[in-house]
Amino acid sequence: MNFYNMSYIKIKEYADELNIDEYEKLAEQLKDDSRKNVQRLIKRLLNMKYRKDQEIARVKNMYDFDMKFLKYGHLSGVDEVGRGPLAGPIVAAAVILDLNKFNEDMILDINDSKKLSVKKREELSKIIKEKSICFNISLIDNMEIDLKGIGVCNQQVLKSAAEGLKITPDYVISDGYPIKELDIPSSYAVKGDSKSASIACASIIAKVYRDNLMKEYAEKYPEYNFENNVGYGSKVHIEAIKKFGITPIHRKSFLKNII
Protein backbone atom coordinates (compact mmCIF):
# COMPACT_ATOMS: atom_id res chain seq x y z
CA MET A 1 0.00 0.00 0.00
CA ASN A 2 1.36 3.41 -0.99
CA PHE A 3 0.87 5.57 2.09
CA TYR A 4 2.73 8.56 0.66
CA ASN A 5 -0.14 9.33 -1.68
CA MET A 6 -2.67 9.08 1.13
CA SER A 7 -3.83 11.95 3.29
CA TYR A 8 -3.15 11.88 7.02
CA ILE A 9 -6.87 11.34 7.66
CA LYS A 10 -6.91 8.25 5.45
CA ILE A 11 -3.78 6.88 7.11
CA LYS A 12 -5.30 7.42 10.56
CA GLU A 13 -8.54 5.73 9.49
CA TYR A 14 -6.47 2.78 8.23
CA ALA A 15 -4.53 2.62 11.52
CA ASP A 16 -7.74 2.69 13.52
CA GLU A 17 -8.86 -0.50 11.77
CA LEU A 18 -5.69 -2.39 12.64
CA ASN A 19 -5.08 -4.75 15.53
CA ILE A 20 -2.63 -3.27 18.01
CA ASP A 21 -0.14 -6.04 17.18
CA GLU A 22 0.09 -4.63 13.64
CA TYR A 23 1.17 -1.17 14.76
CA GLU A 24 4.89 -1.88 14.57
CA LYS A 25 4.62 -3.01 10.95
CA LEU A 26 2.67 0.13 10.02
CA ALA A 27 5.18 2.33 11.86
CA GLU A 28 8.00 0.75 9.85
CA GLN A 29 6.13 1.46 6.62
CA LEU A 30 5.58 5.08 7.59
CA LYS A 31 8.97 5.86 9.13
CA ASP A 32 10.22 7.85 6.12
CA ASP A 33 7.09 9.97 5.85
CA SER A 34 8.23 13.47 6.82
CA ARG A 35 4.79 14.83 7.66
CA LYS A 36 4.71 15.87 11.32
CA ASN A 37 1.21 14.58 11.94
CA VAL A 38 2.20 11.20 10.51
CA GLN A 39 5.28 11.08 12.74
CA ARG A 40 3.12 11.92 15.76
CA LEU A 41 0.77 9.10 14.78
CA ILE A 42 3.70 6.68 14.57
CA LYS A 43 4.86 7.69 18.04
CA ARG A 44 1.37 7.26 19.46
CA LEU A 45 0.93 3.82 17.88
CA LEU A 46 4.30 2.60 19.14
CA ASN A 47 3.53 3.90 22.63
CA MET A 48 0.23 2.02 22.62
CA LYS A 49 1.98 -1.16 21.51
CA TYR A 50 4.64 -0.69 24.19
CA ARG A 51 2.03 -0.21 26.91
CA LYS A 52 0.20 -3.33 25.81
CA ASP A 53 3.42 -5.35 25.86
CA GLN A 54 4.15 -4.06 29.35
CA GLU A 55 0.65 -4.98 30.49
CA ILE A 56 0.97 -8.48 29.03
CA ALA A 57 4.27 -8.95 30.88
CA ARG A 58 2.76 -7.69 34.16
CA VAL A 59 -0.28 -9.94 33.98
CA LYS A 60 1.78 -12.91 32.83
CA ASN A 61 3.78 -12.60 36.05
CA MET A 62 0.50 -12.85 37.97
CA TYR A 63 -0.48 -16.00 36.10
CA ASP A 64 3.04 -17.40 36.57
CA PHE A 65 2.60 -16.88 40.32
CA ASP A 66 -0.53 -19.04 40.21
CA MET A 67 1.03 -21.68 37.97
CA LYS A 68 3.25 -22.71 40.87
CA PHE A 69 0.15 -24.16 42.54
CA LEU A 70 -1.18 -25.95 39.46
CA LYS A 71 0.56 -29.16 40.55
CA TYR A 72 -2.15 -29.52 43.22
CA GLY A 73 -5.03 -29.33 40.72
CA HIS A 74 -7.70 -26.63 40.64
CA LEU A 75 -6.52 -23.43 42.30
CA SER A 76 -8.92 -20.92 43.81
CA GLY A 77 -8.04 -17.33 44.63
CA VAL A 78 -10.07 -15.76 47.45
CA ASP A 79 -10.40 -12.15 48.56
CA GLU A 80 -12.78 -9.95 50.53
CA VAL A 81 -14.00 -6.36 50.38
CA GLY A 82 -15.88 -4.29 52.91
CA ARG A 83 -13.98 -4.96 56.11
CA GLY A 84 -13.88 -1.30 57.14
CA PRO A 85 -17.17 0.40 56.10
CA LEU A 86 -19.67 1.75 58.62
CA ALA A 87 -22.57 0.21 56.72
CA GLY A 88 -23.35 -2.78 54.54
CA PRO A 89 -22.05 -6.35 54.43
CA ILE A 90 -18.60 -7.80 54.11
CA VAL A 91 -18.29 -9.68 50.81
CA ALA A 92 -15.84 -12.31 49.63
CA ALA A 93 -15.36 -14.02 46.28
CA ALA A 94 -13.58 -17.18 45.22
CA VAL A 95 -12.52 -17.78 41.62
CA ILE A 96 -11.08 -20.78 39.78
CA LEU A 97 -9.38 -19.76 36.53
CA ASP A 98 -8.47 -22.15 33.73
CA LEU A 99 -4.73 -21.73 34.17
CA ASN A 100 -3.97 -24.31 31.49
CA LYS A 101 -5.31 -21.89 28.88
CA PHE A 102 -3.91 -18.64 30.17
CA ASN A 103 -1.47 -18.10 27.28
CA GLU A 104 -4.30 -17.83 24.77
CA ASP A 105 -6.99 -16.56 27.17
CA MET A 106 -5.17 -14.14 29.46
CA ILE A 107 -7.37 -11.52 31.15
CA LEU A 108 -5.50 -8.24 30.82
CA ASP A 109 -5.84 -5.30 33.25
CA ILE A 110 -6.61 -7.47 36.30
CA ASN A 111 -5.18 -5.96 39.46
CA ASP A 112 -6.04 -4.98 43.01
CA SER A 113 -9.64 -3.83 42.51
CA LYS A 114 -8.95 -0.54 44.33
CA LYS A 115 -6.48 0.43 41.59
CA LEU A 116 -9.09 0.12 38.83
CA SER A 117 -11.77 2.54 37.71
CA VAL A 118 -15.42 1.70 38.27
CA LYS A 119 -15.91 1.20 34.52
CA LYS A 120 -12.88 -1.09 34.21
CA ARG A 121 -13.95 -3.17 37.21
CA GLU A 122 -17.42 -3.64 35.73
CA GLU A 123 -15.94 -4.72 32.39
CA LEU A 124 -13.49 -7.12 34.01
CA SER A 125 -16.08 -8.63 36.34
CA LYS A 126 -18.13 -9.75 33.35
CA ILE A 127 -15.08 -11.15 31.57
CA ILE A 128 -13.88 -13.00 34.68
CA LYS A 129 -17.27 -14.61 35.22
CA GLU A 130 -17.40 -15.71 31.57
CA LYS A 131 -13.86 -17.09 31.44
CA SER A 132 -13.52 -18.66 34.89
CA ILE A 133 -14.20 -22.33 35.47
CA CYS A 134 -16.40 -21.26 38.37
CA PHE A 135 -16.79 -18.53 40.96
CA ASN A 136 -18.69 -17.97 44.18
CA ILE A 137 -19.67 -14.87 46.13
CA SER A 138 -20.43 -14.93 49.86
CA LEU A 139 -21.53 -12.16 52.21
CA ILE A 140 -22.19 -11.52 55.87
CA ASP A 141 -24.54 -8.71 56.83
CA ASN A 142 -24.06 -5.92 59.34
CA MET A 143 -26.15 -7.60 62.04
CA GLU A 144 -23.90 -10.64 62.11
CA ILE A 145 -20.84 -8.38 62.07
CA ASP A 146 -22.19 -6.59 65.16
CA LEU A 147 -22.93 -9.92 66.83
CA LYS A 148 -19.66 -11.76 66.11
CA GLY A 149 -17.14 -9.01 65.37
CA ILE A 150 -15.49 -8.14 62.08
CA GLY A 151 -12.46 -10.38 62.62
CA VAL A 152 -14.59 -13.51 63.00
CA CYS A 153 -16.83 -12.52 60.10
CA ASN A 154 -13.86 -11.76 57.87
CA GLN A 155 -12.59 -15.30 58.32
CA GLN A 156 -16.05 -16.79 57.97
CA VAL A 157 -16.87 -15.01 54.70
CA LEU A 158 -13.57 -16.05 53.10
CA LYS A 159 -14.13 -19.65 54.17
CA SER A 160 -17.72 -19.62 52.86
CA ALA A 161 -16.62 -18.22 49.50
CA ALA A 162 -14.06 -20.99 49.01
CA GLU A 163 -16.25 -23.82 50.28
CA GLY A 164 -19.25 -22.68 48.23
CA LEU A 165 -17.59 -23.18 44.85
CA LYS A 166 -19.39 -25.69 42.63
CA ILE A 167 -16.05 -27.36 42.00
CA THR A 168 -14.09 -27.98 45.20
CA PRO A 169 -10.62 -26.51 44.66
CA ASP A 170 -7.54 -28.57 45.40
CA TYR A 171 -5.69 -25.55 46.74
CA VAL A 172 -6.71 -22.07 47.92
CA ILE A 173 -4.68 -18.87 48.08
CA SER A 174 -6.02 -15.86 49.94
CA ASP A 175 -4.98 -12.24 50.10
CA GLY A 176 -3.08 -10.96 53.11
CA TYR A 177 -3.58 -13.68 55.68
CA PRO A 178 -4.54 -17.36 55.96
CA ILE A 179 -8.10 -18.66 56.11
CA LYS A 180 -8.56 -20.50 59.40
CA GLU A 181 -10.28 -23.88 59.73
CA LEU A 182 -10.45 -24.38 55.98
CA ASP A 183 -10.45 -28.10 55.12
CA ILE A 184 -8.62 -27.47 51.86
CA PRO A 185 -4.84 -27.06 51.51
CA SER A 186 -4.16 -23.33 51.44
CA SER A 187 -1.72 -20.49 51.82
CA TYR A 188 -1.77 -16.73 51.49
CA ALA A 189 0.12 -13.92 49.77
CA VAL A 190 0.74 -10.45 51.15
CA LYS A 191 -0.65 -7.97 48.59
CA GLY A 192 -1.87 -11.04 46.75
CA ASP A 193 -4.34 -9.08 44.65
CA SER A 194 -1.34 -7.51 42.89
CA LYS A 195 0.64 -10.78 42.65
CA SER A 196 -1.91 -13.50 41.85
CA ALA A 197 -4.27 -13.54 38.87
CA SER A 198 -6.76 -15.67 40.78
CA ILE A 199 -6.81 -13.40 43.84
CA ALA A 200 -7.05 -10.28 41.66
CA CYS A 201 -10.06 -11.74 39.86
CA ALA A 202 -11.72 -12.58 43.17
CA SER A 203 -11.02 -9.05 44.40
CA ILE A 204 -12.66 -7.54 41.33
CA ILE A 205 -15.89 -9.53 41.32
CA ALA A 206 -16.29 -9.11 45.09
CA LYS A 207 -15.79 -5.34 44.80
CA VAL A 208 -18.24 -4.98 41.90
CA TYR A 209 -20.86 -7.09 43.68
CA ARG A 210 -20.63 -5.11 46.91
CA ASP A 211 -20.51 -1.70 45.23
CA ASN A 212 -23.61 -2.49 43.18
CA LEU A 213 -25.38 -3.69 46.32
CA MET A 214 -24.55 -0.40 48.05
CA LYS A 215 -25.92 1.50 45.04
CA GLU A 216 -29.21 -0.33 45.56
CA TYR A 217 -29.16 0.72 49.22
CA ALA A 218 -28.48 4.29 48.08
CA GLU A 219 -31.89 4.35 46.41
CA LYS A 220 -33.52 3.26 49.67
CA TYR A 221 -31.45 5.54 51.90
CA PRO A 222 -30.52 8.52 49.68
CA GLU A 223 -29.31 10.79 52.49
CA TYR A 224 -26.16 8.73 53.13
CA ASN A 225 -24.54 8.97 49.68
CA PHE A 226 -23.93 5.21 49.55
CA GLU A 227 -23.63 5.34 45.76
CA ASN A 228 -20.32 7.17 46.22
CA ASN A 229 -18.95 6.12 49.60
CA VAL A 230 -20.24 2.49 49.45
CA GLY A 231 -20.66 2.57 53.21
CA TYR A 232 -17.26 3.97 54.20
CA GLY A 233 -17.04 6.85 56.65
CA SER A 234 -16.94 9.81 54.30
CA LYS A 235 -17.70 13.31 55.60
CA VAL A 236 -21.14 13.31 53.94
CA HIS A 237 -21.93 9.87 55.37
CA ILE A 238 -20.94 10.78 58.92
CA GLU A 239 -22.86 14.05 58.78
CA ALA A 240 -25.94 12.13 57.58
CA ILE A 241 -25.66 9.70 60.49
CA LYS A 242 -25.56 12.59 62.94
CA LYS A 243 -28.51 14.30 61.27
CA PHE A 244 -30.78 11.38 60.34
CA GLY A 245 -29.60 8.58 62.62
CA ILE A 246 -28.68 5.10 61.49
CA THR A 247 -30.29 2.74 58.98
CA PRO A 248 -30.94 -1.00 59.31
CA ILE A 249 -27.73 -1.68 57.34
CA HIS A 250 -25.38 0.28 59.62
CA ARG A 251 -22.83 -1.54 61.78
CA LYS A 252 -23.61 -0.26 65.25
CA SER A 253 -20.35 -1.62 66.62
CA PHE A 254 -18.47 0.66 64.21
CA LEU A 255 -20.31 3.82 65.27
CA LYS A 256 -19.43 4.14 68.97
CA ASN A 257 -17.32 7.25 68.36
CA ILE A 258 -19.94 8.86 66.10
CA ILE A 259 -23.29 8.44 67.84
Q: Which residues are annotated as a binding site?
A: 79-80, 175
Rounded Cα gap, residues 114 and 191, in angstroms: 12
Quote the longest CA-to-CA distance of the chain. 75
CATH code at 70-212: 3.30.420.10
Nearest CA to 157 out of 93, 201, 208, 213 is that of: 93
In the predicted model, residues of the chain with pLDDT beneath 50 are: none
Rounded Cα gap, residues 105 and 246, in angstroms: 46
pLDDT score for 140: 98
pLDDT per residue as tens digits for the range 215-238: 999 999 999 999 999 999 999 999
pLDDT score for 68: 95
Rounded Cα gap, residues 104 and 194, in angstroms: 21
* CATH 3.30.420.10 residue ranges for the chain: 70-212
Strand partners, 187: 173
What DSSP string describes 108-152? TT---GGGS-HHHHHHHHHHHHHHSSEEEEEEE-HHHHHHH-HHH
pLDDT score for 200: 98
Look up the pTM and report it. Answer: 0.89
Q: Which residues are annotated as a binding site for a divalent metal cation?
A: 79-80, 175
